[in-house]
Amino acid sequence: MKFNWKVLITLIVLIGAIFWGVDSVRTRSYSGTNLNVGIGSGPVTVTNSTDTQILVQFLGTGSRPFSVSSTSAGALGSSTRQGTGRTTSQLFEYELPPGITEFSVVARGSNVSFVTDTLSDLDVTVQPLIENDARTTMIVAAIVILGTLFYVSNTTGHRWIRRFRVEKASLEDTQPSTGLATTNPNIGQDGRMYSDL
């Protein structure tokens, strides 16, 4: 049997699409001190279990500013430029209150990280994509997955369909008959009686 490289490559694409789709939308959780967490366009939830405020930073690379918003007081504003030339970065600082705070970051193409420099433990949950982008990503992944499955099935002559039909037919043949057995030899015959005389 000749090995089909096209099918192998298609299966690799299939696995890649599954991994990409799941990894793009899965929630990431971090916990500890001195965190440096990359964030995306989705919400960022930070839990401060202490009873004091903790200084946190949103740090972006490049010259493009980003904005931060939250339902918490004071967590609203735009980043400020730091440095010049190749060392240019964007910074937004915030005094994180005790409890749970959720942030939304509009990065406009900048790579933004949530950074802490404290000995206090923080719990951070990051959703990489907003809801609409996550839905779009899953739709694209589903289209790629279905397309690759159809290509593999078509390339192999839809053998799995024929095998399924054969197995279904074999299963039906093994089922007991539900018809009534005919035990009277006269059923269906002429009702008249004949004699040899």
Tell me the pLDDT tens digit for each residue of 37-82: 998 888 999 999 999 999 999 999 877 889 998 877 667 888 888 8
57, 102 in Cβ contact below 8 A? no
Least confident of 4-18, 24-38, 111-125: 4-18
User: What is the model's pTM?
Assistant: 0.66
Tokens (6 digits) for 133: 């982008």
Per-residue pLDDT, 10: 84
In the chain, pLDDT over 90 holds for what percent of residues? Answer: 28
70, 104 in Cβ contact below 8 A? yes
At 59, is the secondary structure helix, strand, or coil? Answer: strand
Instruction: Choose the CATH number for 27-127 among 1.10.150, 2.60.120, 3.30.70, 2.60.40.
Output: 2.60.120
35, 124 in Cβ contact below 8 A? yes
Pairing of strands 67-70, 122-126: unpaired
Q: Which amino acid is residue 106, in one-letter code? A: V
The residues, ordered by sequence, that sit 6+ positions from 45 with a Cβ below 8 Å of its Cβ are: 100, 101, 102, 103, 124, 125
- Convert the pLDDT of each residue in 145-169 to its tens digit: 999 888 887 877 666 566 655 555 5
